[in-house]
């Protein structure tokens, strides 16, 4: 299996290329070869555009040799969640139903990545219509979480394929979208870093609008350092230096966010908090009962908006071909009354004011990203209790979208025998650069998370 040239981060890759230790073409070919070797087992990709990727890499090598340097993302291999349109590639929305009538075309975000010199390798699988937190897709397949070669564990959703591709070293970074946790959940379950940007900060034209109210786009990558490089290239916002942890004030909404945690999640979350306290961080617990309103607000708003996006006629045509869980959740949108939708929107604005007031004397909030570690697909299929619990995967992430916050899920270092656990850091909308600076310091304090052993997939394939 070829080397993962992005394992040490985007800045290290950029330095290696400019020092002549690797070319864009060599790195791209190695990454494509890893996809050939690993994706038949992982199932992260909907399509791979190999020829165009190699030709683009060759062109960038020639440009760099002639003195044209496009910046830190030049020659970086990127994969794109398959609800985001890319010229020359199909957009399935994770569905067997053709959504050509939506007429999605490549938007400003992809154009920004191209201008920055990114090489788009292909499209990654998603939960159907991006509506689901577990990553399961009965229609087009569920990607395999790289942390377990023997058991098919959920990768988290809905940006499932994007997270699997990053974790397996099949790209430099991936694009996902986040309506209720769809970047943070798969980042959590695959041990990666996921940045849910402030709504409206990154352009979303060319992206399937699951919810115009809550949608945002962002990266799934290996570290906060990588996320900062990407964010600067997209927004032109200068990154801040890592913020000292001494005296930092982090709020913990323990009620709801820390209820009914898996024992391992509770253990490693508490250890992470202990490490931060040792570094001088102040942890202040506070009540946030309004987080429970996600249960009523999401069905009223997202349910109505996904039907509006697909159109009622389109949804009826797609119904019989859809994933059963997605179908049931989306169908509820047909019954949302206009008055309920308007009242829900009004309540969102009220909650955003309430949540912002809770930041008084606090720099950020923290919580476990999820109440659980990734369970197996088999357990969800065979055990009703586990299936119901898995649907709570986004319990801790949804409130952030309602409150209009930006947030990042960081992997908490755990023993090699453990599955990934995520730490969620949240801040008011518009403070993404400060959030990245805080998370950079937090990640440095906690230490690097292990990476999955991808050789186990090759060995298993050889045995079979």
Give the pLDDT band of residue 100 (cuts 50, 70, 90): confident
Among residues of the chain, what percentage have pLDDT more than 90? 94
Count other C-beta atoms under 10 Å from residue 328's C-beta. 10
Q: If you compute the radius of gyration of the chain from its CA atoms, what whole number of angstroms results?
A: 21
* In a domain? residue 219: yes
Question: How many CA atoms within 13 Å lie on the side-chain side of 48?
Answer: 21
pLDDT at 464 (0 to 100): 40
* In a domain? residue 446: yes
Is 156's pLDDT higher than 60?
yes
pLDDT at 331 (0 to 100): 94
Is 258's pLDDT higher than 80?
yes
Kindly state the average pLDDT of the residues 453-457: 94
Kindly state the average pLDDT of the residues 82-89: 97
CATH of the domain at 108: 3.90.1300.10
pLDDT at 461 (0 to 100): 58
* In a domain? residue 326: no
pLDDT at 458 (0 to 100): 86
Kindly state the average pLDDT of the residues 21-35: 98
Alpha-carbon distances, residue 89 vs 39, 69, 84, 106 (angstroms): 18, 27, 10, 10
Could you report the per-residue pLDDT of 396-454, keeping only the tens digit for each?
A: 999 999 999 999 999 999 998 899 999 999 999 999 999 999 999 999 999 988 899 99
* In a domain? residue 1: no
Give the pLDDT band of residue 112 (cuts 50, 70, 90): very high
Q: Is 105 a catalytic residue?
A: no
Q: Choose, from 158, 162, 211, 216, the residue flagged as catalytic.
A: 158
Q: Decide: 92 and 213 in contact? Cβ < 8 Å.
A: no
Domain that holds residue 230: 10-291+346-463
* In a domain? residue 302: no
Bridge partners of 53?
none
Among residues of the chain, what percentage have pLDDT more than 70? 99
Model pTM score = 0.97
Total count of domains within the chain:
1
Kindly state the average pLDDT of the residues 226-244: 95
* In a domain? residue 327: no
Kindly state the average pLDDT of the residues 241-252: 95
Kindly state the average pLDDT of the residues 258-283: 98
pLDDT at 242 (0 to 100): 87
Angle of the 24-42 helix axis to the 50-65 helix axis, nearest 10: 160
Could you report the per-residue pLDDT of 14-25, keeping only the tens digit for each?
A: 999 999 999 999
pLDDT at 459 (0 to 100): 79
CA distance 373 to 393: 9
pLDDT at 67 (0 to 100): 98
Q: 99 in the Ramachandran plot: left (φ > 0), alpha (ψ -120 to 50) or beta?
A: alpha
Could you report the per-residue pLDDT of 158-192, keeping only the tens digit for each?
A: 999 999 999 999 999 999 999 999 999 999 999 99
Q: Choose, from 139, 159, 177, 182, the residue flagged as catalytic.
A: 182
pLDDT at 448 (0 to 100): 85
pLDDT at 99 (0 to 100): 78
Could you report the per-residue pLDDT of 294-326, keeping only the tens digit for each?
A: 999 999 999 999 999 999 999 999 999 899 999
Q: Decide: 325 and 136 in contact? Cβ < 8 Å.
A: yes
Give the pLDDT band of residue 133 (cuts 50, 70, 90): very high
DSSP collapsed to 3 states, the chain: CCCCCCCCCHHHHHHHHHCCCCCHHHHHHHHHHHHHHHHHHHCCEEEECHHHHHHHHHHHHHHHHCCCCCCCCCCCEEEEECCECCCCCCCCCCCCCCCHHHCCCCCHHHHHHHHCCCEEEEEECCCHHHCCCCCCCCCCCCCCCCCCCCCCECCCCCCHHHHHHHHCCCCCEEEEEECCCCCHHHHHHCCCEEEECCCCCCCCCCECCCCCCCCEEEEEECCHHHHHHHHHHHHCCCCCCCCCCCCCEEEECHHHHCCCCCHHHHHHHHHHHHHHHHCCCEEEECCCHHHHHHHHHHHHHHHHHHHHHHCHHHHHHHHHHCCHHHHHHHHHHHHCCHHHHHHHHHHHHHHHHHHHHCCCCCCEEEEECCCCCCCEHHHHHHCHHHHHHHCCCCCCCHHHHHHCCEEEEEECCCCCCCCCCEEEEEECCCCHHHHHHHHHHHHHHHCCCCCCCCHHHHHHHHHC
Q: Is the peptide bond before 36 cis (omega within 30 degrees of 0)?
A: no
- In this structure, what token pair is assigned to residue 232? 């600067």
pLDDT at 463 (0 to 100): 43
* In a domain? residue 16: yes
- In this structure, what token pair is assigned to residue 84? 């985001």
Q: Is 370 a catalytic residue?
A: no
What value does the mean pLDDT of the chain take?
96
* In a domain? residue 299: no
Q: Decide: 247 and 216 in contact? Cβ < 8 Å.
A: no
Q: Choose, from 23, 81, 159, 228, the residue flagged as catalytic.
A: 81
Q: Is 324 a catalytic residue?
A: no
């Amino acid at each position: 299996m070829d080397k993962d040239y992005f394992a040490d981060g985007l800045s290290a890759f950029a330095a290696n290329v400019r020092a002549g230790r690797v070319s864009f073409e060599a790195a791209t070919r190695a990454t494509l070869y890893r996809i050939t070797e690993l994706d038949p087992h992982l199932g992260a990709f909907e399509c791979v555009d190999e020829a165009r990727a190699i030709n683009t890499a060759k062109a960038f090598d020639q440009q760099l040799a002639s003195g044209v340097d496009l910046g830190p993302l030049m020659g970086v291999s990127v994969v794109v969640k398959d609800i985001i349109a890319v010229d020359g590639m199909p957009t399935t929305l994770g569905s067997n139903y053709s959504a050509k009538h939506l007429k999605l075309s490549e938007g400003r975000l992809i154009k920004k990545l191209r201008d920055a010199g990114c090489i788009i390798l292909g499209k990654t699988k998603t939960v159907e219509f991006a509506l689901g937190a577990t990553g399961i897709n009965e229609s087009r397949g569920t990607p395999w979480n790289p942390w377990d070669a023997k058991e098919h564990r959920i990768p988290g959703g809905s940006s499932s394929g994007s997270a699997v591709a990053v974790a397996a070293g099949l790209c430099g970074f991936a694009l996902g979208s986040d309506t209720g946790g769809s970047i943070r959940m798969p980042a959590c379950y695959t041990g990666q870093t996921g940045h849910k940007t402030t709504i409206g900060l990154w352009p979303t034209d060319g992206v399937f609008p699951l919810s115009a109210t809550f949608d945002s786009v962002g990266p799934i990558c290996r570290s906060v350092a990588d996320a900062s490089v990407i964010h600067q290239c997209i927004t032109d916002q200068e990154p801040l230096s890592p913020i000292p942890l001494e005296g930092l004030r982090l709020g913990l909404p323990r009620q709801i966010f820390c209820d009914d945690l898996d024992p391992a999640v509770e253990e490693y979350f508490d250890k992470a908090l202990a490490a931060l306290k040792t570094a001088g961080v102040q942890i202040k617990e506070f009540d946030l009962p309004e987080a429970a309103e996600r249960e009523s607000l999401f069905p009223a708003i997202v349910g109505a908006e996904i039907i509006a996006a697909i159109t009622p006629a389109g949804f009826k045509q797609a119904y019989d071909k859809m994933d059963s869980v997605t179908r049931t959740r989306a169908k509820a949108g047909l019954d949302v009354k206009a008055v309920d939708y308007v009242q829900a929107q009004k309540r969102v604005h009220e909650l955003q004011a309430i949540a912002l007031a809770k930041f008084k004397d606090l720099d950020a909030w923290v919580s476990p990203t999820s109440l659980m570690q990734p369970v197996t697909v088999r357990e969800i299929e065979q055990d009703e209790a586990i299936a119901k619990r898995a649907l709570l995967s986004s319990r801790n992430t949804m409130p952030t979208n309602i409150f209009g916050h930006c947030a990042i899920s960081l992997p908490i270092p755990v023993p090699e025998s453990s599955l990934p656990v995520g730490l969620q850091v949240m801040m008011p909308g518009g403070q993404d650069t400060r959030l990245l600076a805080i998370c950079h310091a937090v990640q440095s304090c906690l230490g690097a998370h292990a990476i999955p052993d991808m050789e186990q997939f090759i060995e298993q394939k050889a045995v079979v």
